[in-house]
Structure 1
Amino acid sequence: MGHQRYIDWVNERIATSPGRIVLLFLVVTVAFTGGLSAIETETGQQQFIEDLDSYETFQDIQRDFGASFGESTTTTTLLQQDDNALSKQSLVQSLRAQERLADADGMRVSETSSPARQVARTLDPDATTLGAQLTVLEGATEREVAQAVRTTAETNPGFTSSVSEDFNREAASASVTESTVTHDAAEIDNREERARDIVGTVGGDIRVLGSTPNTITTSLGIVLPAAFVLIVTFLLIAYRDLVDLALGVVAIVMALIWTFGFIGFADIPFNPLLVSVPPLLIAVGIDFGIHVVNRYREARAEGRDIVDAMDVTNRQVLVAFGIVTGTTVIGFLSNLVSAFPPNRDFGLVAAVGIVFTFLIFGIFLPAAKVYIDRLRERYPVPTFSQEPLGSEDSAFGRLLSGGVSIAKRTPVIFLLVVLVSTTVVGGYATGVSTEFDAEDLQPAEETPDFLQYLGPLAPPESFQSIENRNLRDRHFDQEEQVIVYVEGDLRRDDALESLNRASRNPPDEIEGEGREAEVTSLVTLVRDRAEQDPQFRALVSRNDHNDNGIPDDNLPVIYDALAESGQLDQFLSEDRRSTQVIYTADGTATNAEIAAAGDEVAGNYRADASPTGIAIVFNAAGALILDTVIQSLLITLVGSSLFLVGIYWILEGKPSLGVANIIPIAVAVVALVATMRFVGIDFNAINGSILAITVGLGTDYAVHVVHRFADERESMALEPALRRTVVGTGGALTGSMLTTVGGIGVLVLALNPVIGNFGLLTALSVVYAYLASMFILPSVLVVWDRLRRYDGASGTVADTIFPWTDEPGVTTDQRPAKAATEGDK
C-alpha cells in the first residue's frame, strides 16, 4: 500500500538513527522557546463581540460622538456602603474622598458626580466646588442634611439612580451610594490601586469598583501543575517504569513548548479559552504515548527484538495516530467558522498543537524509546515492569471484553436498543439553551478554600472587584439602554421633527410616559437648552412653525448655537450626517426582548437606523452561539466521516469501516448534550466548540479499536480478532481515558467557572466516547463484518442475528479468515 513506504521510511530512520532524531527534535524545541516571551494575554468580553454588526454600530457611535464614548477620558466608580450612606458623616466622607482624588498628582480629575454633591447644592446652590460643598455639609445639622436629601430626591430625578434601591425618602436613608470620578486621560498608571489608597484615607466603607481581574495567568499556574501531578501519577501506574515515565513527560513538555512557541510567533493573543489547550494536548499526548509503549511491550512480550518490536508498533499505531490527528484537526479547525475571534484562535492553536503532538509522539517518542532500550542492553539502566496493560486472562481483560460478550450474543438487538435510547435522549437534548453573559468571563467572587493550600500558587481568597460589582448589581436597578444610530442629512428642516416622531408609541420594553419614550437625543438637548437659555429659546421659537418646541427651520443655525453648550458633539457628528438616540429599556426584560424592542424603535426612523447596546450585542452573540455549535458540529461530523471513509478505503479497501467508526461518536455527542441540559449548563461563547471537540477527541478511541480490528482480522477469525482488539487496545484506551479525564478535568480548578465547566464537559465527552468505543463499537463491528464479509462476499441481515456462525456446526473461530482481496462494493 502507498502509505506503507512512508511508515517504512520512518521506521528505518528510527532503527538506524534514533539519536539523530532525538537531537533534531530537541533543537526544534529550543527554537520554539523563542516564541514564549512574545505571548500576550487578552481578556474581557470585547474579544468575543468585536466582529458583530451591533458592536460595529456601537463603535461607529464611539467614533462619531467621542465626547460621550471616546477614549480621551476614563472614569473611576466609587461605591460607599453604610447603615445609612446618606447620613451627614457618610456624605462628608464621600466628598472628602472625591476632593482628595481631585487633588492627587497625576490623577487628572476633571469632574466628579455623586449624591453628596447634589445634596450639598440643595443646601447651598452657590456651592459649586468640592471644597465649598464639603464646607456646607460639615456646617449643616443632621436634620438639615436629611431634609436636603428628601428635597434633592423630589427635584432631581437623576438622584435616585445613584442611590440603592432600598432608598427610603421619608427616612432619607439608603445602604449604598454610587459616585463617578472622570479623569482627563485614557490611561493613568495604577489608577485603580492609587484610587483605593486615596479613598482609604477618609474612613468609612468606600470602594473602587475596579475592572474585571485577568485570571488567565493565575489559572494556568493552578491548572498546569495540577495536570502535571495527575498525569505523572497516572503514567506511573500505566508505565510502571521510571524511564518510560520520563520519556512521556519529556514528550509532553516538548508538545507544550512547541505550541506555546507557535502562539508567540504567530502573534495570537492568549485568551481564556486557550487555557484549555495545554490539558487537551497533554491528554492526547498521553493517549498516544500509552499506545506506543503498550503496543511495543506487547510485541516485546512476543519475543521480538527492539527494532522489530518498534517496527510492528509503528506499522500499527502510526497509521492510527494519523487518522486520529486528521479527525481531531478537522474537529478543531471547524471552529474557524465561529463568529467569535477567540474561538477561531482556539481552533487554530489546538489544531496546530495536535499536529505537533502527532510528530513528537509518533516519531520522537519511538526513536527515544529505541535509543534508551539499546542503552539498557549495554548499561545497567534501571528497568522496572515492561508488561503491557491488560491481558485476555486477567480480571481487567475480562472486564474490558464485556462489549465483546454482548456482540457475541445479541449484537443487532443491542444496537436497536442503543438506537432507540439515543433517539429518545436526543429529543431531550434539543432543549439545551444558549446564552452570552459577561459573567461567564469573570471569576467567582470567592475562590474555593482548598486552593489556599497551594502555597505560592494559591489565588487570592476573593476578588474585590467582583465583590464590588455584585454589590452594585444587588443594590441598584440595572437599567439597559437601546442606542439607535441614525444616519442621514440632519440639516434637513424636518430632521428633528422626524427624530421626535420616531420616539412615539414605544414598545413595552422601552421606558416612557404615555405615548412618549424616555429618550436622550438632539431633541432633548434642544429642549433642555431652551429651558435654561432665554436667548436660545427665542431662536428656537423663531424657527418653530408648529409651536411644539422643536425647530423645523434653519437647523444649521440651531446647531451652531447649541454647540456653545459643549454637548452637541455628543449627539451630532462633525459632518452632521449621523446622530444617536438613547432609549432607556426595562432592566428586567430579557436580552431578546430588548433586542426586539430595539429593532422596532429603529424601524420608526425614516433614515437609516441601527440599534445597539449591551443587551442587543449580547443577544446577537447568544444567537450566534447556536449557529456556531451547529455549523462546527456538522463540519466536524461530515468532514470526519468523509476523512474516515476515504482513509479506510485507501488503507484497508473498506470505506464502510469509516461509517462504523463514527457511530459510537454520534452516540457520545447526543449523551453529552443531554447531560448539559440535565445539569443546567448552557452553550456559551466558551463551550460552543465542545461538540466539535467531542467528535475530534472521541474519534481517537474508536479509531484505535477499528484500525486494530482491521489489522487483526487480516490474520484471524472474527471472535479472536475482536477480543484481542478490545482487550489489547482496551488496556491502553483505559489508561488513556483515565489520564485524559484527569488532565482535562483539572480545568475545574480554573478561576473562571465557565472554563471549569468546559473542562468538565470535555472530560465527560471522553468518558462517553470511551464507553461507546468499548461497549457499542464491538457490536457495530460484528454487524459490519457479517454484512460485508471480510473475504469480500456480501452478507445478509440474517447473518447478523445468528452469533458467530457461518456454516452449520462450524464457528468462525474454528476457521482462519481470508485476507481481504477486494474493497466494499
Structure 2
Amino acid sequence: MARLDPQWFIDWADDKIVNHSRRVILTFVVLTAIFGAGLSAVETESGTDQFAEEVPEEEAFTRITEEFTPRFQEGTGSTQLIQRAPNVLTRRELVRMLEAQKRLADREDLRVVQTASAASVVAQTLDPDAETLDAQVRAMERATDAEVAAAVRENADNPRFVGLLADDFNPTEPRATATIGVVTHSIPLADESGAGQGGDSPLTPIQQKATRIVATVGGDISVFGSGVIADEFGTVITDSLIIVVPAAVLFIVLFLVVAYRDLVDLMLGTVALGMALVWTFGFLGLAGIPFNQIMIAVPPLLLAVGIDFGIHAVNRYREVRADGYDVGESMRKATDQLLVAFFIVTGTTVIGFLSNLVSNLTPIRDFGVVAAIGIVFTFFVFGVFLPAAKVEIDRLRQRYPIPTFSQAPLGREGSSLGTVLRVGVRPALRAPAVVLVVALILSGGAMWYATGVDTEFGQEDFLPPSEAPAYLKMLPEPFAPGDYSVVADIEFLEERFSSSQSGVVTVFLEGRATDDAFLEELDRVAQDPPETFITVDRRADSTSILTVIRDEAEQNEEFADVVARHDRDGDGIPDRDIVDVYDALFATASAERAAEYISEDYTSSRVDYRVKADADDDAVVADTREMADRFRTEGTATGAVVVFSAISDLILDSAVQSLILSMLGTGVFLIFIYWWLEGRPSLALANLVPILVAVTFVAGTMRLSGISFNAFTATVLALTIGLGVDYSVHIVHRFIDERVEHDLETALDRTVRGTGGALAGSMLTTVFGLGVLVLAVLSILGQFGLLTAASIVYSFLASILVLPSALVLWDRFSGNDPVVPLGGTDIDTGASATAD
C-alpha cells in the first residue's frame, strides 16, 4: 500500500529552518504579538459551580431555586457572625454580639433586613419591650451578671436560642464556647441558584465591609458567608500563581544552566518557553475560554514539555556538531530526527489531553482543550522557532565574538551520566523476557492496589487549608499568601454545632402535582423513611406543599373548610379537585410560603427532608435517591450533598474513560505513525510497555499517598500517558535510527547514552518544575503536582530500565540478526535483516 512520504514534509521544514531562519524568526515574533494581544482578554472563573454545569442533579437544584423562589419577596442573603470565647454567655460577650449586630444594621450600604442571635433572645428576656437593637444593647448593659445568667437558664429549652449555641452549651453554669449570629441582607434574587459556590457573589463586598466593621467591636467575632467563600475562591488562584510560577522559573533556570551550560542557549530556551506560554494564554483570551483553578497546572505542564523539547533539540544538534558538521548540516541532521520524534510526542500528548473531552465536567474539558492547544504551540515553537534561532545565533557566533561556553552534549561516551544510563542495557541483552515479566507483574500488583483509590469533591478542595504550611507563612511580600479563614470556619461549625446543623436534601417532582392522589402520595412516601433521615412519629421530618396546606388549615377556618370539602376519606389530606385547593391556598397569607414548594403553574413541586448531621454523605445520597424512587411521579434527588456526590461520581467516570480513551487513542496513533514513518507498526507495542508501567505505578502511588481522585487528579492518569510517551518515543525513534547503521548492542548503547542523557536532564528539570506545585496555596494542586512529577519519574525509569528489553524482544521477533544493522546484509551469508 502506497503512502505519502513523510520525508518531504521534513525536508521542507529543514529548508525553512536552515536556509530561511530569519523569516521563520520574524514570523514567530509577529504571531507572538498577535497572541500577546489576547492576554488582556483572559478572564478567571473560580469556585465549584462551574463543575456543576450540565449535571442533572444540579439542573434540578437550579430549577428549584428558579421556580420556587417566593414571587412576592425580594432576594435575601445571610451573613453569619461566629463568636468564640471561653464563655460567650457572659454579659460582656453578649453585649459585643449585640453591638456587632447594631453596627452592621446601622450601615445602609449593607442593606440589613434583620438580625438574630442568642444575645438578642437574652436581651428580650431581660426586657420584653426591647424590640430594637439599641434597646437590646441598653437592656444588656443595665442587667447584672446574675440577671443575665437567669435569662440564659430561662431559655435553656428554647430551640431558637439553643440552636445558635455550640454543642458544649451548659445551661446550669451557664456556659458555651461559641455562638452564631445571623444577619440577613436584601440582595438580587440571582445570588445563589445552585449547589455550587462561584467566585463571584453580590455578598462579597457586603461581607468584606462587615468584616472591617465587626473588627471594631473587639473580642473574637468573625464574618462568614458565601461572599467570604467567593472572595477566597478568587484570591487563591492569584496567590497560587504568585508562588508557583516564580518558583518554577527558578528551578527551571537552575537545571537549564546545567543542561545547556551556555548563556546564549539558556536565554534562547527561556525565550522559547515564554513564547509558548504567551501563545497558549493569548489563545485563551482570544477564544473566550475562562481561566479556572485546574488551569493553574497548564503553565508547569507546558514548561515541562517545552523543556524536554528544548534540551533534546540542543543536545542532538550538539552531538552532530561534535562529529564535525557545519551549522546548517548539523541542524538539518538534528531536525531530521527530532521533528519526527516531536511530532509523535505532540500527537500522543494531545490525544492524552483531549481524552478529557469525554468528561461531563466543563472545567476538565476546557483544561483538556487548552493543554492540547498549548502542546501544539510548544511543538511549533521548539520544533521550528528554536532550531531556526539556534542556526542564526551560531552563524553569528562564527562572525562575531559572542561568548560561547560548553557545547558538549549530555551523556557522551565516557561520562558518569552515560555509564549510569546504561544500567538497563545489560539485562535487556541477557534476559529481556525476564525483565518484561517482572515489570508486568509489578504493574499488575500496582493496578490491583490502586483499585482502593477514593473519589471526592467539595468546595473545601478549592479553598486553602485551615492551617497554612509553615513555609508559606515564612514567605516575604509579595509572595506571602493572604489570610484565609473559610475552611477553618467550616470545620469549626461542623465540629461545634453538629447537633443543630442538620442537613437538608430535596426531591424535585415533575408532573402529577394536580392529580387527586398527589398529596396522599406525599404523605405515603414519608412513612418509614431511611436511616439517615430525621423522623417524627416514624415519618420523615419533611416540608412540602402538603405541610403548608396543613399549617394554614390549622390557623384559617375558612381554608380548613376548603380542605374538608375536598377530602373524601376524612384523613385531612385533600384528594379531589386539588387545583381548587391550591388556588384557595394562594389566596391566603401562606401564598408566599406555598410558592416555595409548588410552581406557579402547578406542574412541579419540591419536598425538603431533614437528615442527620452526623450521617455519612454517601448514605444520605443513597437514601435520598431511594426516597425519590418511591414516588410514582418523576422525582430527582438533589441538594448540595447530592450534587457534590454526583460530581464525585463523574470525576471517577472521567478518570476511567479518559484513561481508556487515551490508551486506545495513543496505541492507534503509534501503530499508524510507525507504519507511516518506518513501515514497522509493531514498534507501537514496544513503545506502550513503559507507558503501561508508569500509569499503574502512578495509580498505586495515589492510594499509597492517600490522594483521592478529585477535580485535579482525575486528569493525571491520561496525562501520564501523554507525558510518558514523550520519553519512550525519543528512545524508540533514536533506536531505529541507530539500528540502521549499527548492531543491536551498539545501537542500544548509543541510544540510552545519547537520548537518555537528554531525557535525564529533561526529567530533572520537569520534575522540579512541576514539583513546585506542592508550594501552591491549594493543597489539591500540590497533590496534582506531586502525582505529575511522579509520573515523569516513572516514565523516565521505565524508558531506561524496561524499554530496552522491549526493544530487544521486538528486534528479535522482527527477524533481525543482533549483529547486523536493521535492513543491512550479513557479509558472511548475504541474508537480509527483515522488518515487520
The bucket for the TM-score relative to the shorter chain is over 0.9
Q: What per-residue deviation string (whole Å, max 9, x for no partner) do you get for residues 206-241 of structure 1? A: 110122512111111111111111111101001100
Aligned to 1:720: 746
User: Equivalent residue for 2:543?
Assistant: 520
Closer, same or farther: CA 673–569 of 1 in aligned 2, 3 Å: same
| Higher alpha-carbon deviation: 582-591 or 291-300 | 582-591
**Which residue of the partner structure matches residue 75 of structure 1?**
78
Q: Deviations over 1:618-637 (max 9, x none)?
A: 21112122211111011110
Deviation at 1:188, TM superposition (A): 5.5
Identity %: 49
**Cα offsets for 1:370-416 (capped at 9, x unmatched):** 00000000000000000000122222211101111111221112222
Tell me which of 617, 623, 628 is aligned to 1:591: 617
Task: Tell me the residue number matched to 1:211.
Answer: 229
The residue matched to 2:6 in structure 1 has which SS?
helix
Aligned to 1:614: 640
- For residue 106 of structure 2, the aligned residue among 75, 87, 103 is 103
TM-score, normalised to structure 2, is 0.92
Number of the residue aligned with 1:800: none
User: What do the CA deviations read for 1:27-77 (whole angstroms, capped 9, x no partner)?
Assistant: 110111111111111111111122211111100101111239999322211
- Please state if 1:401 is matched with 2:422: yes
Q: Secondary structure at the match of 2:477?
A: helix
1:343 aligns with 2:364: yes
Q: Which residue of 1 aligns with 2:510?
A: 487
Query: 2:161 aligns to what?
Result: 159
2:631 alignment counterpart = 605
Letter of the structure 1 residue corresponding to residue 134 of structure 2:
G
Corresponding residue SS for 1:606: coil
Moved more, 659-668 or 109-118: 109-118
1:446 has 2:477 as partner: no
Which of 204, 209, 213 is 1:198 aligned to?
213
CA deviation profile, 1:490-527 (whole Å, cap 9, x unmatched):
34544433322221110001011231111122233334
Q: Aligned residue for 1:240?
A: 261
Conserved in 1, the CA contact under 8 Å of 2:345 and 2:729? yes
What amino acid maps onto 1:513 in structure 2?
A: V
Amino acid corresponding to residue 526 of structure 2 in structure 1: S
Q: Secondary structure at the match of 2:609?
A: strand
**Separation (CA, whole Å) in 2 of partners of 1:538 and 1:177:** 44
Q: 1:425 aligns with which of 446, 457, 466?
A: 446
* Residue range with higher mean Cα deviation, 61-70 or 240-249: 61-70
SS in 2 for 1:110: strand
User: What is residue 332 of structure 2 aligned with on the other side?
Assistant: 311
Q: How many residues align?
A: 807
The 2-side partners of 1:271 and 1:817 are apart by 65
CA contact 2:38–2:284 (8 Å) conserved in 1: yes
Query: What 5-or-longer segments of structure 1 have no aligned partner?
Result: 792-803, 807-811
TM alignment of 1:741-760, pairs within 5 A? 741-760=767-786
Distance in 1, matches of 2:642 and 2:830, equals: 64
Aligned mates of 1:345, 1:22 — CA distance in 2:
30
Tell me: CA distance 1:189–1:331, structure 2 relative to 1, closer, same or farther (3 Å): closer
**Matched ranges for 1:383-402 at <5 A:** 383-402=404-423
> Is 1:688 matched up with 2:714?
yes
Cα distance in 2 for partners of 1:375, 1:511 equals: 80
Match of 2:810 among 771, 776, 784: 784
* Unmatched tracts of structure 2, length 5 or more: 189-201
Partner Cα distance (1:9, 1:788) in 2: 32
Give the residue type in structure 1 aligned to 2:491: N
- Report what 2:288 is aligned to: 267
Tell me by how many angstroms 1:106 deviates: 1.1
C-alpha change, 1:31 and 1:446, in structure 2 (3 Å) is same
**Cα distance, 1:489–1:244 mapped onto 2, change above 3 Å:** same
**Residue 601 to residue 123, structure 1, CA distance change in 2 (3 Å):** farther
Contact persistence 1:493–1:555 (CA under 8 A): no
Q: Are residues 555 and 537 of structure 1, via their aligned partners in 2, closer, same or farther at CA, if it must alter by over 3 Å?
A: closer
Q: Given that residues 720 and 788 in structure 2 are in contact (C-alpha distance below 8 angstroms), is that contact kept between their aligned partners in structure 1?
A: yes
| Whole-Å separation in 2 of the counterparts to 1:89 and 1:350 | 57
In 1, distance between residues paired with 2:204 and 2:381? 44
Deviation at 1:588, TM superposition (A): 2.3
Change (3 A) 1:817 1:36: farther
CA distance in 1, matches of 2:5, 2:517: 76
- CA 1:127–1:566 in 2, change beyond 3 Å: closer, same or farther? farther
1: CA distance, partners of 2:156 / 2:285: 55
The 5 Å alignment of 1:175-194 reads 175-186=177-188, 187=202, 190-194=205-209
Residue 276 of structure 2 contacts residue 377 of structure 2 at CA under 8 Å; is this kept in 1?
Answer: yes
Paired AA for residue 771 in structure 2: G
| 1:147 to partner: Cα distance | 3.5
**Do 2:814 and 2:835's aligned partners in 1 also have CA atoms closer than 8 Å?**
no
Tell whether the 8 Å contact from 1:536 to 1:561 is kept in structure 2 after alignment. no
TM superposition shift of 1:418: 1.7
Distance 2:571 2:825 in 1: 97
Q: Distance in 2 between matches of 1:453 and 1:229?
A: 18
| Aligned with 1:257 (options 273, 278, 292) | 278
Shift of 1:3: 0.9
1:773–1:246 distance in 2 versus 1, CA, 3 Å: same
Instruction: State how far apart, in whole Å, the 2-side matches of 1:672 and 1:36 are.
Output: 34
Deviations 1:177-226 (A, max 9, x none): 11221111232672122101222222322110122512111111111111
2:353 alignment counterpart: 332
Equivalent position amino acid for 1:500 in 2: D
Query: What's the counterpart of residue 90 of structure 1?
Result: 93
Asked if 1:506 is matched to 2:529, the reply is yes
Q: Contact 2:443 / 2:696 at 8 angstroms: preserved in 1?
A: yes
Aligned partners of 1:146 and 1:537: how far apart in 2? 43
Q: In 1, distance between residues paired with 2:16 and 2:620?
A: 65
Query: How far is the alpha carbon of 1:340 from its aligned partner?
Result: 1.2
SS in 2 for 1:508: coil
Structure 2 CA distance for aligned equivalents of residues 546 and 133 of structure 1: 51
> Corresponding residue for 1:173?
175
CA 1:609–1:89: 2 relative to 1, 3 Å:
same
Return the letter of the residue paired with 2:19.
Answer: T
SS of the residue corresponding to residue 465 of structure 2 reads coil
SS of match in other structure, 1:570: coil
Query: C-alpha offsets along residues 327-383 of structure 1, whole Å, 9 cap, x if unaligned?
Result: 000000001111211111110000000000000000000000000000000000000
1:790, 1:817 within 8 Å by CA — same for their partners in 2?
Answer: no
Instruction: Report the CA distance shift for 1:592/1:468 in structure 2 as closer, same or farther (over 3 A).
Output: closer
**Bigger mean CA deviation after superposition, 105-114 or 303-312:** 105-114
Paired residue for 1:678, among 704, 716, 725? Answer: 704
Give 1:9's aligned residue.
12
1:467 equivalent among 473, 477, 488: 488
Alpha-carbon distance in structure 1 between the residues aligned to 2:119 and 2:830: 91
Change (3 A) 1:295 1:605: same
1:768 maps to 2:783: no
Secondary structure (helix, strand or coil) at the match of 1:182 reads strand
Q: Deviations over 1:562-583 (max 9, x none)?
A: 4456322222222122222111
Q: Label 1:552 to 1:92 Cα distance change in 2 as closer, same or farther (>3 A).
A: farther
CA distance in 1: counterparts of 2:832 and 2:767, whole angstroms: 37
Deviation digits for residues 650-704 of structure 1, max 9, x if unmatched? Answer: 1111000011101110011111111111111111121101000000000000000
Match status 1:24 vs 2:21: no
Partner of 2:196: none
* Superposed counterparts of 1:369-384, under 5 Å: 369-384=390-405
Q: Which residue of 2 aligns with 1:809?
A: none
Partner of 1:64: 67
Question: Cα–Cα, structure 1 residues 558 and 330, in superposed 2: closer, same or farther, change >3 Å?
Answer: same
Q: Is the 8 A contact 1:106 1:188 kept in 2?
A: no
